[in-house]
Structure 1
Amino acid sequence: MSTDWQPTLIVGIGRGGLVPAVYLSHAAGLPMASYDLSAQTPQAGDDLLTRLAARTRDGERLLFVDDINDTGRTLGLLRTWLDEAGAQPGSVRFATLLDNEVSAQQVSYRARVIDRRVVKDWFVFPWEAVATADAIAQDAAEIPERTS
């Protein structure tokens, strides 16, 4: 991370971003919150996003962490919801382990860049590998152009 912008809170995006967020939180010595989109429960996290947006207006900087920025859908939703909740511009950034260079959304920090025009693989991170083969195949089948 650059020295000109330092987060004050790590926010793990569930499910895939929770493990990397915990690691980053410990490594940076920063507190961590979690926001779960995987539950697919409408409005379940509205209160949390409202509170997080309020924290940015008080000068806090939030770093949202996810495993992959693939299509950009997750990051786009979060950006829209945070904007609607009044988050301070420039106070929210995103970090991912894998970043699709042709995604609809951009991240500030990434460990590795992929190009989905070329790489169609379905990525299974170590913390996901404990799932059954059927569960992994079912997740991969949700996006037919990905291969397991």
Structure 2
Amino acid sequence: MSTPEFAYIDNETFLADVLAVADAMKREPWKPDFVVGIGRGGLVPGAYLSHRTNIPMLSVDHSSKVYDFSDELLMKLARQTCDGKHILFIDDINDSGSTIVYLRDSMVKYGCVAEHVKFAVLLNNLSSRTTVDYWSRTINRTTDKRWFVFPWEAVSTHDELVEEANEVPQRLA
């Protein structure tokens, strides 16, 4: 197990990232009816973005890997889009893209109106296998192998951070 280079994101940078996403959203006519924080990493950004934009927040858990639980919520969100509601999912980082691909594919599988669903992240990996609609900053995993530690993750132990970083080794190789 390799030890990654940690890049700690301080609270000021985190707040600036949230504000940048909110500003990007303002520049478009598309407006979400709900901000959906993706558990775990998108919950704190979702709460902050919800307060900044005054858009109600919902959440869906993906990190627990309890898919029948999250899928039930995704079905309900897909139905909301059929009723004309616009949904903005937010996560901390679009890294490999697997979370966003899973959520996007699930929403389509459950019959969502695709134009009513968008994605936002604080950090967007340019070499990810998928794209997002809003972001604050970009990285490129082809050259940038740092493991980003957001303020809410800073309470984890060093060993826990190393273990999490090594769950997908190609992000660090």
TM-score of the superposition, structure 2-length normalised? 0.82
Distance in 1 (CA, whole Å) between partners of 2:76 and 2:64 is: 20
| Structure-2 residue corresponding to 1:49 | 74
Q: Do the aligned partners of 2:97 and 2:130 also contact (CA within 8 Å) in 1?
A: yes
**Alignment partner for residue 110 of structure 1, among 135, 157, 164?**
135
Paired residue total = 147
Specify whether residues 81 and 145 from structure 1 end up closer, same or farther in structure 2 by C-alpha distance, changes over 3 A only.
closer
Residue 146 (structure 1) shift: 4.5
What amino acid sits opposite 1:42 in the alignment? Y
Residue 24 (structure 1) shift: 0.3
| Structure-2 residue corresponding to 1:69 | 94
| Structure-1 residue corresponding to 2:41 | 16
| 2:117 counterpart of 1:60 | no
Q: Do the aligned partners of 2:141 and 2:171 also contact (CA within 8 Å) in 1?
A: no
Please provide the CA RMSD for this pair.
1.1
Q: Structure 2, unaligned stretches of length 5 or more?
A: 1-24
- 1:33 alignment partner, SS class: strand
Which protein is richer in helix relative to its size? Answer: 2
| Structure-2 residue corresponding to 1:82 | 107
- 1:136 alignment partner, SS class: helix
Q: Structure 1, unaligned stretches of length 5 or more?
A: none
Q: Do the aligned partners of 1:96 and 1:111 also contact (CA within 8 Å) in 2?
A: yes
Q: Do the aligned partners of 2:96 and 2:171 also contact (CA within 8 Å) in 1?
A: no
**Relative contact order: is structure 1 or structure 2 higher (C-alpha 8 Å, sep ≥ 6)?**
2
Among all aligned residue pairs of Structure 1 and Structure 2, give the percentage whose two residues are the same amino acid. 48
| 2:152 counterpart of 1:127 | yes
What amino acid sits opposite 1:123 in the alignment? F
Instruction: Kindly report structure 1 stretches of 4+ aligned residues shifted beyond 6 Å.
Output: none
Q: Do the aligned partners of 1:120 and 1:145 also contact (CA within 8 Å) in 2?
A: no
- Residue deviations 1:36-72, cap 9 Å, x none? 1111113111221111011111111000000000111
| 2:138 counterpart of 1:139 | no
What amino acid sits opposite 1:118 in the alignment? T
- 1:6 alignment partner, SS class: coil
